């Protein structure tokens, strides 16, 4: 087999090899090994041209491992023998002592000075510089014109393969970006809970750009959802809604962020701003609906209490009846106030009872000794309203008609809640069949599903027990 036929076969094999994949790193690795084999060289170095940096960057080798280098070799076109070939768009061949050539450029941890010869050619894609490659031999060697033409032919084909691989990599990157944005859009549209949306955004952000950590920082400085750990490099992008900044997307990783990364993070930040405002709007709507519902129920309760007071067969002082109604309305308002302050569906009964105690003592101007023993107990808002009315009626009766000392107890007992009000007095206002106690009995029975008992033993003790 003559040299021409052998070169043609090697060219065909090299082209088939580099066209067998669209993965850029795999393409460059195949180029280095196949070119070295085709020209029976000891080493091959493949550089790609970085348009943004204006540098040739070593991306693949045969004979030396790139990943073992402490720093990736870079050079501008015109630097070094390979850089001169790239800048001049012409091959350069030096048969021996290439490291003594004045154009030679040494790189740390790249032992090019152990090679005698070099053949360097540019990689051109439609006359545009795409990179450069060289082959080296340890023994002096003058590459023939046919071998130079072979390397130029391989470089021309490699240029097209590199362009295709770049397009494939860009397409995969874009698909990854669209998938990430689709996952974020799905999380934003499906979840009614703001925390779930924010969590999905942060985790998707980390996956999309290979981040070590990410977080959403709200406009008040609160970190809404931190994930991962800090990195050597960080980027912060504003969350904007209708020309107003409502927070920041912070992302960390151990390698620098590219322009493509920043563009993707900018899109994610936009989605995050939409999610944040969407979640807030939903919460405002839910909160408004809940407030309207509570107000409606409370007004209905007030109306029912007033009707019951009006239908009472008792002979009651109108002023006393009005004061009792006011205290009942204030008890309902206290529950509403606690729910609004804590923005929760449950009420801490100890806090509620203590508020009602202070309100009634001040309102009635009662100069009595009040003892309290209140354990922490939480109760749903609608049942807390019933309990507030029950407590107000019983406590007001103790203040007005009981002895000098009044004791309030709130405790948990075998899965039930115990509320007890006792005093060292002797009676009940209007006996045990008055309007106030009728309200108490109805609320305990119907709303709390509990029981009401009175004990007369050295004073009066009213005890309400109901399941939590």
Find the farthest-apart pair of alpha carbons in the chain and give their distance in angstroms, rounded: 129
CB neighbourhood size of 168 (10 A): 15
| Segment 116-144 mean pLDDT | 91
**In 3D, which of 49, 64, 72 has the Cα closest to residue 162?**
49
| Segment 152-172 mean pLDDT | 78
Which whole-number Å values give the CA distances from 10 to 16, 28, 171, 238, in the listed order? Answer: 10, 17, 31, 55
| Segment 125-129 mean pLDDT | 85
Asked whether the CA dihedral 169, 174, 175, 180 is positive or negative, the reply is positive
DSSP secondary structure of 143-192: --HHHHHHHHHHHHHHHHHHHHHHHHHHHHHHHHHHHHHHHHHHHHHH--
pLDDT of residue 228: 83
> 425 φ, ψ to 5°?
-95, -160
Which pLDDT tens digit goes with each residue over 139-150? 999 998 988 988
- CATH superfamily ID and name for 3-170: GAF domain (3.30.450.40)
Q: At a CB cut-off of 8 Å and minimum separation 6, what does 259 contact?
A: 52
Q: Give the chain's mean pLDDT.
A: 77
Domain map (residue ranges) of the chain: 3-170, 187-277, 312-467
Give CA–CA dist 196/186, Å, rounded.
11
Answer whether residue 39 shows pLDDT above 80. yes
Residues 187-277, CATH architecture? 2-Layer Sandwich (3.30)
Answer whether residue 49 shows pLDDT above 80. yes
| Segment 53-67 mean pLDDT | 81
Answer whether residue 132 shows pLDDT above 90. yes
**Residue 156, beta-bridge partner list:** none
Q: Of 150-154, 310-314, 442-446, which range is least confident?
A: 310-314
Answer whether residue 86 shows pLDDT above 90. yes
Q: Of 107-116, 148-157, 273-282, which range is least confident?
A: 273-282
Residue 15 tokens, joined: 């082209």
% of the chain exceeding 70 in pLDDT: 70
pLDDT of residue 401: 77
Answer whether residue 296 shows pLDDT above 60. no
| Segment 224-240 mean pLDDT | 84
| Segment 159-174 mean pLDDT | 74
| Segment 401-430 mean pLDDT | 81
Which pLDDT tens digit goes with each residue over 364-392? 666 788 888 888 888 777 678 788 878 88
Report pTM: 0.45
User: Which class in CATH covers the domain with range 312-467?
Assistant: alpha beta
pLDDT of residue 21: 67
Q: What is the distance in angstroms between the CA of the first residue and the CA of the last residue of the chain?
A: 96
- Identical fold at 3-170 and 312-467? no
Answer whether residue 335 shows pLDDT above 90. no
pLDDT of residue 287: 45
- Look-up: residue for tokens 């993070």? 265
Q: Are 186 and 274 in contact (CB under 8 A)?
A: no
Give CA–CA dist 266/213, Å, rounded.
16
**In 3D, which of 19, 59, 50 has the Cα closest to residue 154?**
19
Highest-confidence segment of 113-122, 217-226, 385-394, 430-439: 113-122
pLDDT of residue 77: 93
% of the chain exceeding 90 in pLDDT: 12
Q: Of 160-174, 298-312, 364-378, which range is least confident?
A: 298-312
pLDDT of residue 370: 86
Confidence of residue 198 (pLDDT cuts 50, 70, 90): confident
pLDDT of residue 397: 80
């Amino acid at each position: 087999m003559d040299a021409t036929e052998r070169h043609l076969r090697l060219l065909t094999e090299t082209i088939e090899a580099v066209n067998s994949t669209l993965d850029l790193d795999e393409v460059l690795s195949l180029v280095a090994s196949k070119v070295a084999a085709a020209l029976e060289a000891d080493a091959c170095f493949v550089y790609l041209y970085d348009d943004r940096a204006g540098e040739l960057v070593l991306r693949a080798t045969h004979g030396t491992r790139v990943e073992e280098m402490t720093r990736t070799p870079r050079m501008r076109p015109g630097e070094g023998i390979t850089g001169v070939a790239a800048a001049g768009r012409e091959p350069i061949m030096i048969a021996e002592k290439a490291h003594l050539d004045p154009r030679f450029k040494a790189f740390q941890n790249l032992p090019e000075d152990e090679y005698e010869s070099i053949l360097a050619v540019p990689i051109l894609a439609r006359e545009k510089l795409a990179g450069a490659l060289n082959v080296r031999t340890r023994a002096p060697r003058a590459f023939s014109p046919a071998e130079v033409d072979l390397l130029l032919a391989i470089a021309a084909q490699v240029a097209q393969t590199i362009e295709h691989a770049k397009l494939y990599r860009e397409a995969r990157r874009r698909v990854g970006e669209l998938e990430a944005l689709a996952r974020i859009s799905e999380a934003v549209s499906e979840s009614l809970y703001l925390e779930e949306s924010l969590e999905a955004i942060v985790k998707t952000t980390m996956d999309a750009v290979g981040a070590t950590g990410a977080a959403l920082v709200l406009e008040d400085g609160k970190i809404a959802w931190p994930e991962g750990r800090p990195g050597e490099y960080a980027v912060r992008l504003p969350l904007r809604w209708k020309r107003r900044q409502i927070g920041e997307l912070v992302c960390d990783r151990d390698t620098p962020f590219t322009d493509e990364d920043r563009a993707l993070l900018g899109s994610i930040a936009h989605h995050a701003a939409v999610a944040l405002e969407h979640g807030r709007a939903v919460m405002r709507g839910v909160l408004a609906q809940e407030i309207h519902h509570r107000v409606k129920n409370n007004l209905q309760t007030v109306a029912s209490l007033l009707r019951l007071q009006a239908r009472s067969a008792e002979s009651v002082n109108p002023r006393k009846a009005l004061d009792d109604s006011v205290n009942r309305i204030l008890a309902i308002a206290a529950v509403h106030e606690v729910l609004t302050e804590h923005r929760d569906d449950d009420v801490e009964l100890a806090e509620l009872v203590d508020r009602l105690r202070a309100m009634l003592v001040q309102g009635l101007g009662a100069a009595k000794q009040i003892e309290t023993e209140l354990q922490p107990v939480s109760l749903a808002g609608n049942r807390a309203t019933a309990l507030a009315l029950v407590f107000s009626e019983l406590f007001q009766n103790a203040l007005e008609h009981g002895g000098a000392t009044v004791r309030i107890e709130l405790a948990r007992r075998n899965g039930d809640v115990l509320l007890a009000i006792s005093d060292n007095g002797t009676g009940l206002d209007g006996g045990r069949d008055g309007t106030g106690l009728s309200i108490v009995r109805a609320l305990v029975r119907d709303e709390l599903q509990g029981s009401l008992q009175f004990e007369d033993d050295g004073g009066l003790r009213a005890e309400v027990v109901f399941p939590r």
